[in-house]
Amino acid sequence: MRKSPELKWVLRPAGGDLAEHAGKEIYAFGDTDPAGRVEVTLTDGTRVRVRRSELIPC
């Protein structure tokens, strides 16, 4: 039996301060704030708040 492929997520920010993190893989998801932004931890340990539209499955 083969292992099923894992779904991975990467950050695709719309620009601004998060542009340096574009294409980095998401390690963990956190809470959503009242403005609808999700706290994510990148694989390098960086924590950022992003809109759900900036999270891309791959």
Q: What is the pLDDT of residues 32-57, one digit of tens each?
A: 999 999 999 999 999 999 999 999 99
Residue 2 has what pLDDT?
A: 58
**pLDDT at residue 5 is higher than 80:** no
Is residue 18 very low, low, confident or very high in pLDDT (cuts 50, 70, 90)? very high
Residue 58 has what pLDDT?
A: 87
In this prediction the pTM is 0.81
- For 40, the token pair is 């994510």
Tell me how far apart the alpha carbons of residues 20 and 13 are, in angstroms, rounded to a whole number: 9
Please say whether the beta carbons of 17 and 46 come within 8 A: no
